[in-house]
Amino acid sequence: MKALVFEKFGGPDVLDYREINEPVIGQDEILLEMKAIGLNFADVYRRKGNYHLEGQPPYILGYEGAGTVKSIGENVRDVRVGDRIAFADVPAANAELVAVPKDKAIPIPEGVSFEAAASLLLQGLTAHYLTKDSYSIKKGDVVLVHAAAGGVGQLLIQIINLLGGTAIGLTSSEEKRQVVLSAGAGSVFLYSDNWKDSIMQMTSGKGVDVVYESVGSTLMESFDVTRVGGTVVFFGMAGGDPVKVDPRMLMDTSKTLTGGDLWNVLTSREERVTRSRELFKWIAEGKVTISKTVFPLKEGGKAHEFIESRKSTGKILLTP
């Protein structure tokens, strides 16, 4: 089979599309013929050597994708050859064939494409738990979303609207501002603007109910625009490490700081399937849409250059 591999850590140029041995599935695994593969910043970090990689080179990136079942292990009972399956957390996805443990196999319903499924799971399940678990969005909530033009950001805005909230987006350029407005944000501000004053003015000096903070270095600014008794949900630090938070500030303002990590939520196949089912339903009904850019897997280096350029919006996919 063909796969996108690399022998050493470095830039996009270390990636090589070449023939390697097919994976051999175990008795509890499914062999999936890939149709679409999600690209995430974690893949960039692993390529650079910033994240741990198991095994020996050649390494294969990718943890998210969708395809059709080619064969099944002897202990697999509820999946058949030809079934449409997606996954959110299986390594070595940048290949034509992937061995998927049966407990991580998520059925794709009719009305949802391979590309939509591969675009949705990691980022969609993240947006899902952030709006349902970390902070449960209620009708009338005013919500600030950092990095709103990204894949998670656009999904957050759409889900906030579905749940009855009002979304305010933050992004870095006028072009991305238009993307965020198209995703359904009521207002969008640029980081280069005096966004804190603008948000306080539009909330009559009260502040927002909740901030979804994924930049890290803006954590204290997020608290500044959060109302007394409000919540900041910290789930990323793409812009740098956050400062330490004084618990006395939390006490004095009755504000809440909470964190979120997808792997503390996806603890069973039931969790994966149940949460994915709601996301797939929203997709099939047209209530949630995904903007995406697609590259052939053999041009994976170009896809990595694109995601690192910070010019991308929405999801980047690779297709074998």
Give the pLDDT confidence of 10-38 residue by residue, as tens digits: 999 999 999 999 999 999 999 999 999 99
pLDDT given at position 281:
95
Domain positions in the chain are 2-108+290-319, 126-263
pLDDT of residue 136: 97
According to CATH, the superfamily of the domain at 2-108+290-319 is Medium-chain alcohol dehydrogenases, catalytic domain (3.90.180.10)
Q: What is the pLDDT of residues 83-118, one digit of tens each?
A: 999 999 999 999 999 999 999 999 999 999 999 999
Q: Would you say residue 52 has pLDDT above 80?
A: no
Q: What is the pLDDT of residue 13?
A: 96
pLDDT tens by residue, 183-224: 999 999 999 999 999 999 999 999 999 999 999 999 999 999
- Least Cα distance to 146 among 275, 11, 238 occurs for 238
Please report which confidence band the pLDDT of residue 56 belongs to, taking 50, 70 and 90 as the band edges: confident
How many C-beta neighbours within 10 Å does residue 84 have?
19
Q: How many CA atoms lie within 13 A of 300 on its CB side?
A: 31
Q: Contact at 8 Å (CB) between 231 and 254?
A: no
Quick one: fold of 126-263?
Rossmann fold (3.40.50)
Is the pLDDT confidence value at 310 over 80? Answer: no
How many C-beta neighbours within 10 Å does residue 80 have? 10
For residue range 126-138, what is the model confidence (pLDDT) as tens digits? 999 999 999 999 9
Share of the chain above pLDDT 70, in %: 100
φ and ψ at residue 136, rounded to 5 degrees = -85, 110
The tens digit of pLDDT for each residue in 156-166 reads 999 999 999 99
Whose CA is closest to 87, among 66, 68, 111? 66
Of the candidates 89, 4, 10, 5, the one whose C-alpha atom is nearest the C-alpha of residue 44 is 10
